[in-house]
Amino acid sequence: MSKLLRIGVLASGGGTNLQSIIDRCHDGSLDAEIAVVISNNPDAGALDRAARAGILTQCINHREFPSREDFDTAVVKALREAGVELVVLAGFMRIITQTFIDAFPERVINIHPALLPKYGGKGFYGDRVHQAVLEAGDAESGCTVHLVDDQYDHGRILGQKKVPVLPGDDPQRLAARVLRQEHIIYPRAIQWMAQGRLSIADDEVLL
């Protein structure tokens, strides 16, 4: 078996994307191992999911740090100590600073529940994203895996999956449809990273 990519997952919430990555590691379809799961939120369901899977967890509460840089420095230290090669943001509700990006250049990825560049940036999180899609009357939405840079939801797109917007949708129904696809494309994108396919052309998006 080839060497497994050591990933660190950062999550603030329920952790269903984390779970999909855990499951794909376990069934062997992902050549990766989760070295550590870090949350800024002591109550994150993601920490419970990781603990149940026997994965090292660490809670680093941002409220205990005087600045974003200090918080990021502590997170980077924990990731380095765990030997992390790829940082996977999975519902991580903190802005990443340049300190962080410099520590893991082109090695931080995120998933966003919309077809970026639409419905990305400040204020577009959770149900607000889906509400905006519905208000605009779009016929489709989806999810996007992208590299993280110093701007919100802005780095290079690695893959996208579209879903239809259906009559009678509310933000919750649309969110659930998008989330099911997130659970498929995020592990797939990580597998691309594990295989060293870093230069993914625009026409190779995951449709």
Q: Of 8, 13, 142, 155, which lies in the binding site for ligand GRF, with binding defined by CB under 6 A?
A: 13
Task: Work out whether 153 is an interface residue with ligand GRF (CB under 6 A).
Answer: no
Task: Work out whether 14 is an interface residue with ligand GRF (CB under 6 A).
Answer: yes
Task: Work out whether 16 is an interface residue with ligand GRF (CB under 6 A).
Answer: yes
Distance in angstroms (rounded) separating the CA atoms of residues 79 and 95: 17
> Which is closer to ligand GRF, CB of 81 or CB of 170?
170
> Which is closer to ligand GRF, CB of 166 or CB of 176?
176
**C-alpha distances in angstroms, 139 versus 104, 115, 128?**
37, 12, 17
CB 17, min distance to ligand GRF, A: 3
Task: Work out whether 120 is an interface residue with ligand GRF (CB under 6 A).
Answer: no
CB 187, min distance to ligand GRF, A: 12
CB 183, min distance to ligand GRF, A: 8
CA triplet 191, 193, 194: central angle to 5 degrees? Answer: 60
Q: Measured at CB, which residue is nearest to ligand GRF?
A: 91
Q: Is the dihedral of CA 63, 69, 70, 75 positive or negative?
A: positive
Distance in angstroms (rounded) separating the CA atoms of residues 59 and 64: 11
Q: Is 62 a catalytic residue?
A: no
Catalytic residue selected from 112, 130, 146, 154: 112
> Which is closer to ligand GRF, CB of 17 or CB of 57?
17
What kind and span of H or E run contains 86?
Answer: strand 86-89
Q: Residue 143: which of 185, 172, 106, 107 has the closest Cα?
A: 185
Q: Are 13 and 41 in contact (CB under 8 A)?
A: yes
Task: Work out whether 146 is an interface residue with ligand GRF (CB under 6 A).
Answer: no
CB 108, min distance to ligand GRF, A: 13
Residue 205's contacts (CB-CB under 8 Å, 6 or more residues apart) are 157, 159, 160
Tell me which residues touch ligand GRF (CB under 6 A): 11, 13-18, 90-91, 111-113, 179, 182
* Active-site residue list: 112
